[in-house]
Amino acid sequence: MGAALSELRELAAEIEVHSFDVVVIGAGGAGLRAAIEATAMGASTAVVCKSLLGKAHTVMAEGGIAAAMGNVYAEDDWKVHFRDTMRGGKMMANWRMAQLHAQEAPERVWELEEWGAAFDRTGDGRISQRDFGGHRYARLAHVGDSTGLEMIRTLQHRLAQSDAQVFMEHTVISLLTDADRISGVLSYSRSDGRFVLLEAKAVVLATGGIGKAYRVTSASWEYTGDGHALALRAGAELADMEFVQFHPTGMVWPPSVRGILVTEGVRGDGGTLRNSDGRRFMFDYIPPYFAEETAQSEAEADAWYEDKRANRRPPDLLPRDEVARAINSEIKAGRGSPHGGVYLDIASRRSAEYIMKRLPSMYRQFKELADVDITTDAMEVGPTCHYIMGGVRVDPETGASSLAGLFAAGEVSNGLHGANRLGGNSLGDLLVFGRRAGAGAAAYASGAGQSGRISASEVSELCADALAPLTSEGGENPYQLQGELADLMQSNVGIVRRSDELAHAIERLEDLEERSYQAHAPGGRKFNPGWHAALELRSMIVVSRCIATCAVARTESRGGHTRDDYPSADQALGRINFLLRWAGPKTGPSTGGSLELTTAAVEEMPEELAQLFVQGQGS
Amino acid sequence: MRSADTGTQTVRLRIWRGDSQAGRFVEYSVPFNDGEVVLDVVHRVQATLAPDLAVRWNCKAGKCGSCSAEIDGRPRLMCMTRMSLFDRDSPLTIAPLKTFPAERDLVTDVGFNYAVAGRVPPLAPRQTEPGEHHRIWDADIERVQEFHRCIECFLCQDVCHVLRDHESNKNKFVGPRHLVRLAELEMHPIDTADRRATARHDLGISYCNITRCCTEVCPAGIAITDNAIIPMKERVADRFFDPLRLLAAKLRSRPDSGPAK
């Protein structure tokens, strides 16, 4: 422990100080898997998370984990999965990440089984695999429609067997650096408002996404882009921030549940989309890019569920970006359902018994929240903000960011999913790259020598800055500011974008940022949600600016970025990633020029992998 | 209360405000709309009347088990409790879980549950040949999948009178949630461990006297008492109280079988 820390203790007696090799921020699938790996490698490890253990966003994941185990279709292997991932991501994914993911996901799933996960089975006793959009074969290992719950509980119990220390209900407010490398993490306890300083040789970001920046979202309150903002402000590079996934099927009614996810498994298990005329409209939206591998008739689509070798995939199971855009168009054309969605019908296509077995939580969710029985009636669904493909740019092998000692895994990182993520690839991502980032951080920490210095004055300044909302005079209500932000992003940086709306959003975001730093939260430091909301708002606005800035730059439509004014894909732009760096002040509101936008060429894959994409390789 | 011309309704809420030292019910009146749940109106109170009102929540879809509270005296998830359930003019009472120490407002310190979780020995999977994977039949895994539906909302812990009425029992009895965990491991098709002694001595399974309150409040619909606790009690009884085993043990005078010393 360096001299800086003892100095700190004197200067700020009220700050609790700990020291670790590795600090993992976030306790979803990626964070837990990273912490398990770091402790297994002998690193002293802490996990810092905003909620109680086991409540992170992963718990809401439904459909399954994409892994080419070949249990249902022996023809499936990592090459097919790799190809599906790259094509689903419109060839923008980092090829090496897509390869590692496809190769390692099966081992990670079997490992979960050894740790107690109770996957659904095939008739011959192996792990069952379900169909999902964009996947050539039935590939998702699953537990009914609550695979995320199974995953998080399994990892939670596994972590409990290690000596990792968990700081539950702690929010990280800043990453601390010493001469361009990580030296620690400053957090506060949500429960009592104490500041907690964690000296760290390495930090793994596993903070998930940004969904709360949108009005209609499948995200919980935690999804405020903290990790993206922390990394950016500490000096790391973000990439592809314009790519935001709108899941095609969120609930639309009643208003209070608008956005809550309806698993793609409904379509994977036979459900189909219909408009108000009863037409299976997805047949009208098959893009040339996927035409060769998509069924052209209802008969072929229905036969595919029984025999995937002789038939092609239904258009309902095109990648999510395609389906979400199609639903959006149907609603705009006036062919939507009464509450502004379209119909998702499994009731007329599968038996009640089958639906109850495969989709029990969907049944409950609709029955209890919307008075709809999905075994007898169609659901109403519409697009909901679900996932950000953009994030911290990382090294595929280790998850290392461009800032020494900072690693990232899961949704907060970038690379695996390119312009659009396939369903089921997120849970695989958490396991494969969570493990790799944990290992990368532990290895880095063991070779890092002494921890970096922590500046006492910087910590004091950060603490004062965090406390400001409690005492600021006459500031606005943080909940109202959050609502304003969500409406702004929803209407101007949403599923379909235009240059004038993006320009308007950027202007308004600057104003919102100024006001967010004036926000006032009455009350004290003990479990004060108004105060928490005021601080999270800062991250949300920074991330929103990143999304809007990259969205302006990408003058084409591709994956999770659709431009009304540039409706087609641009080959040249398809070979470019947009990168962002921070050039503004370390704390406080940013200035106009504080986001530096640059480009990098998408990395070319080696010849033997490129061969997989040559015409005639089958679909 | 429904306003005839606008269709919006108003609800009166009595929400417990306070901390570990002291607290009281404070009344709020907010509008609500068709289809809303209790968590929606609590959030409305927070956004408009009491920005510092402490409440835990995450998924708002019954999957994470964060927003547990006692609504009109009954332990429920606020996100899955429709306002339409309460059609009347008297105020709706929302209180924190009584079994756990108050932290602030509707937030309680549920640390007990995390602390005792480690008393249940983890899965001890049987070995497979290298390159082989477990073959498990649907019927065998379905039995434990019921227990895996647990979202750790701790409503069963809250309602369990062994924990609720006698603070000192928390040293001896882990509560229904952890007996479900015990059952899921004991019945897991690939598990090889024997946790019967642990169940009796460390988990306090005999404290449960099968009032089934836990099963009644479980939002995941787990038959906690019938499918988890009773079978585990039977296994423990087989191990420790089977008269034939007791006799055999006595005859052989083997100290390692029969009732623990």
Residue A293 to residues A37, A80, A248, A300, A425: CA-CA distances in angstroms? 39, 13, 20, 12, 20
Cβ of A369 under 8 Å from any chain B Cβ? yes
Asked if residue B242 belongs to a domain, the reply is: yes
B19/A526 touch (CB, cutoff 8 Å), yes or no = yes
Are residues A356 and A303 both part of a single domain?
Answer: yes
Q: Which two tokens stand for residue A582?
A: 């921070």
Report CB contact under 8 Å: A253, B35: yes
Which residues of chain A make contact with B133, given a CB cutoff of 8 A? 110, 113, 126-127
Average pLDDT over residues A12-39: 94
**Rounded-to-integer distance, Cα B40 and Cα A250, Å:** 18
Strand A413-414 relative to strand A391-393, pairing: parallel
Marked catalytic residue, from A33, A267, A313, A393: A267
The shortest CB-CB distance from B123 to any of A52, A59, A116 is to A116
% chain A with pLDDT above 70: 97
Task: Show which of B108, B125, B141 is a domain's final residue.
Answer: B108
Is B28 inside any structural domain? yes
Q: Looking at the predicted structure, is the pLDDT value of residue A599 above 90?
A: yes
Backbone region of residue A188 per phi and psi (left: phi > 0; alpha: psi in -120 to 50; beta: other values): beta
Of the residues B30, B105, B148, the best mutation for testing chain A's interface (the one with the most A CB atoms within 10 Å of its CB) is B148
Nearest to B35 among A254, A483, A528 (CB): A254
Partner-chain contact A153 B148, CB within 8 Å = yes
pLDDT at A6: 59
Instruction: Judge if B65 and B174 occupy the same domain.
Output: no
Q: Is residue A80 part of a domain?
A: no
CB A173 within 8 A of CB A466: yes
Residue B170 located in a structural domain: yes
Instruction: Tell me how close the Cα of A307 comes to any Cα of chain B, in angstroms.
Output: 23
Q: Which two tokens stand for residue B68?
A: 């547990």
Closest approach of chain B CAs to the CA of A152, in angstroms? 10
- Evaluate whether residue A599 is within a structural domain: no
Longest dimension (CA), chain A: 75
Based on the domain organization, do B87 and B193 belong to the same domain?
Answer: no
The more confident residue out of B248 and A37 is A37
Note the pLDDT of residue B119: 96
Q: Is A163 touching B (CB cutoff 8 A)?
A: no
For residue A3, what pLDDT band results from cuts at 50, 70 and 90?
very low
Domain shared by B115 and B234, yes or no: yes
Q: Looking at the structure, do residues B45 and B136 belong to the same domain, yes or no? A: no
CB atoms within 10 A of CB B104: 25
Residue B1 included in any domain: no
Chain A residues with CB-CB distance to B62 below 8 A: 361, 364-365, 368
Structural domain contains residue A338: yes
| Chain B CA closest to residue A168 | B111
| Domain's final residue, options B85, B108, B131 | B108
Q: Are A309 and A237 contained in the same domain?
A: no
Residue A160 to residue B118, Cβ atoms within 8 A: yes
Judged by CB atoms within 8 Å, which residues 243-262 of A form the interface with B?
253-257, 260-261
Average pLDDT of span A65-91 = 97
Percent helix, strand, coil in chain A, to 5, is 40, 20, 40
Q: How far is A386 from chain B (nearest CA, A)?
A: 13
A interface mutation test: which of B133, B182, B191 has the most A CBs within 10 A?
A: B133
pLDDT classification of A8: cutoffs 50, 70, 90: low
pLDDT of B258 > 50? The answer is no
CB distance A413 to A392 below 8 Å = yes
What does the pLDDT look like over B43-80, one tens digit per residue?
A: 999 999 999 999 999 999 999 999 999 999 999 999 99
Average pLDDT over residues A389-395: 98
Domain's final residue, options B55, B78, B108: B108
CATH number at residue B238: 1.10.1060.10
B-chain residues near A144 (CB < 8 A):
145
Residue A212's DSSP bridge partners are none
Confirm whether A187 is domain-assigned.
Answer: yes
Same domain, B126 and B82: no
Catalytic residue among A135, A228, A247, A563: A247
Task: Please indicate if any CB of chain B lies within 8 Å of the CB of A491.
Answer: no
Are residue A255 and residue A372 in the same domain, yes or no? yes
DSSP A373-433: -TTTS-EEEEEEEEEE--EEE--TTT-B-SSBTEEE-GGGEESSSTTSPPTTHHHHHHHHH
* Contact assignment for B80 to A477 by CB distance below 8 Å: no
Beta carbons of B66 and A51 less than 8 Å apart:
yes
pLDDT at B173 over 50: yes
CA B153/CA A55 separation, integer angstroms: 10
pLDDT by residue (tens digit) across A301-329? 999 998 888 999 999 999 999 999 999 99
CATH number of domain containing A369: 3.90.700.10
Residue A278 inside a domain? The answer is yes
The reply to whether A372 and A464 lie within a common domain is no
Identify whether B195 is part of a domain: yes
Q: Work out the average pLDDT over A540-562.
A: 97
Number of domains in chain A: 3
Domain that holds residue A515: 456-575
Evaluate whether residue A587 is within a structural domain: no
- Indicate the average pLDDT of chain A: 94
Query: Are both A208 and A232 inside the same structural domain?
Result: yes
Does A550 fall in a domain? yes
In a domain, B259, yes or no: no
Same domain (yes/no): B221, B152: yes
**Is residue B138 within a helix (H) or strand (E), and if so which, with residue range?**
helix B138-148
Residues A351 and A270 in one domain: yes
Closest-CA distance of chain A to residue B107, Å? 8
Angle between helices A478-492 and A499-516 (to 10 degrees): 170
Please tell me which of the candidates B51, B54, B118 has its beta carbon nearest to residue A527: B54
Across the range B231-252, mean pLDDT stands at: 86
Q: Given this model, what pLDDT does residue A592 score? A: 67
Regarding whether B151 and B40 lie in a shared domain, the answer is: no
pLDDT of B7:
57
> Which one, of A580, A595, A481, A460, lies nearest residue A538 by Cα?
A481
Q: Is the pLDDT of residue A149 over 70?
A: yes
Same domain, B131 and B181: yes
Q: Which of B36, B107, B110 sits opposite A254 (nearest CB)?
A: B36
Q: Report residue B181 as tokens.
A: 């965990």
> What residues form DSSP beta bridges with B9?
B2, B32
Residue A247 bears catalytic tag: yes
The single-letter code of the amino acid at A4 is A
Put simply, whether A529 touches B (Cβ < 8 Å) is: yes
Suggest the residue from A59, A120, A361, A366 to mutate for an interface test with chain B (most B CBs closer than 10 A).
A59
The pLDDT value recorded for residue A1 is: 42
Instruction: Please check whether residues A338 and A420 belong to one and the same domain.
Output: no
| pLDDT at B2 (0 to 100) | 46
Which residue range is the domain that position B227 belongs to?
A: 111-252
The tens digit of pLDDT for each residue in A212-240 reads: 999 999 999 999 999 999 999 999 999 99
List Cα–Cα distances, B194 to A105, A117, A127, in angstroms.
Answer: 32, 19, 26
Residue B3: the pLDDT is 47
What is the nearest CA distance from B55 to chain A, expressed in angstroms? 8
Contact yes or no for B37 and A115 at CB 8 A: no
Q: Are residues A442 and A550 in the same domain?
A: no
CATH, residue B37: 3.10.20.30
- Asked if residue A372 and residue A277 are part of one domain, the reply reads yes
* Structure tokens that stand for A181 in this block: 């490398």
**For B184-198, what is the mean pLDDT?**
97
In a domain, B226, yes or no: yes
CA distance A521 to chain B (A): 7
Binary contact (B37, A116; C-beta < 8 A): no
Contacts of B36 in chain A (CB under 8 A): 254-256
The band of B5, judged by pLDDT with boundaries at 50, 70 and 90, is very low
Average pLDDT over residues A40-50: 98
Q: Strand, coil or helix: what is A574?
A: helix
Residue bearing tokens 């994956």: A559
Rounded Cα gap, residues B139 and A112, in angstroms:
20
- Give yes or no for A143 touching B (CB within 8 A): yes
Using DSSP bridges, classify how beta strands A342-345 and A181-189 pair: parallel, antiparallel or unpaired: unpaired
Q: Number of Cβ pairs closer than 8 Å across A and B? A: 164
Check whether residue B40 and residue B83 sit in a common domain.
yes
CA distance B158 to B156: 5
Q: Does A222 touch chain B (CB under 8 A)?
A: yes
- Minimal-distance CA residue of chain B relative to A143: B145
Which regions of A214-336 does DSSP assign to beta strands (E)?
Answer: 238-239, 244-251, 272-274
Interchain CB distance below 8 Å, B110 and A220: no
> Is the Cβ–Cβ distance between A37 and A439 less than 8 Å?
yes
CB contact under 8 A, A221 and B185: no
A570-574, B140-144, B240-244: least confident range: B240-244
Chain-centroid distance of CA A601 in Å reads 23
Residues B135 and B20 in one domain: no
* Nearest alpha-carbon partner for A433 in A487, A391, A483: A391
pLDDT tens for residues A482-492? 999 999 999 99
**B4 is a domain residue:** no
The question of whether A364 is a catalytic residue gets the answer: no
pLDDT of residue A5: 57
CA of B80 to nearest chain A CA: how many angstroms apart?
A: 7
Instruction: Please indicate, yes or no, whether residues B121 and B242 belong to a single structural domain of this protein.
Output: yes
**ipTM confidence score:** 0.93
At a CB cut-off of 8 Å and minimum separation 6, what does A241 contact? A228, A388, A390, A391, A543, A546, A547, A549, A550, A578, A580
Q: Answer yes or no: do B66 and A528 touch at CB < 8 A.
A: no
Q: What angle do CA A543, A547, A549 make, to 5 degrees?
A: 110
Which chain B residues contact residue A338 at CB under 8 A?
none
The pLDDT tens digits of the residues spanning A354-379 come to 999 999 999 999 999 999 999 999 99
B80 CB neighbours in chain A (<8 A) are 368-369
Peptide bond into B122 cis (omega under 30): no
Query: For A270-319, where are the alpha helices, taking DSSP H only?
Result: 288-291, 298-304
Q: Is residue A411 part of a domain?
A: yes
Closest C-alpha to A256, from B5, B42, B7 = B42
Per-residue pLDDT for B256 more than 70? no
Q: Does A374 share its domain with A256?
A: yes
Q: Which of A121, A478, A479 lies closest to B136 in CB terms? A: A121
CATH number at A220 reads 3.50.50.60
Q: Within this chain, do residues A302 and A203 fall inside the same structural domain, yes or no?
A: no
Of A126, A191, A528, the CB nearest to B133: A126
**Number of independent structural domains in chain B:** 2
Give the model's confidence band at A458: pLDDT under 50 very low, under 70 low, under 90 confident, else very high.
Answer: very high
- How far does the CA of residue B252 sit from the closest CA of chain A (Å)? 38
Q: Minimal Cα–Cα distance from B132 to chain A, Å?
A: 10
Instruction: Fill in the DSSP letter of residue A312.
Output: P
* Partner residue opposite B54 with nearest CB, options A120, A124, A529: A529
CATH number (domain holding residue A486): 1.20.58.100
One domain for residues A204 and A267: no
Q: CA of B219: which chain A residue's CA is closest?
A: A364
**What is the chain B residue with the closest CA to A218?**
B59
Residues of A within 8 A of B137 (CB-CB) are 121, 125
Report the residue of chain A nearest B45, measured CA to CA: A479
- Answer yes or no: do B136 and B183 share one domain: yes
Give the pLDDT band of residue A522 (cuts 50, 70, 90).
very high
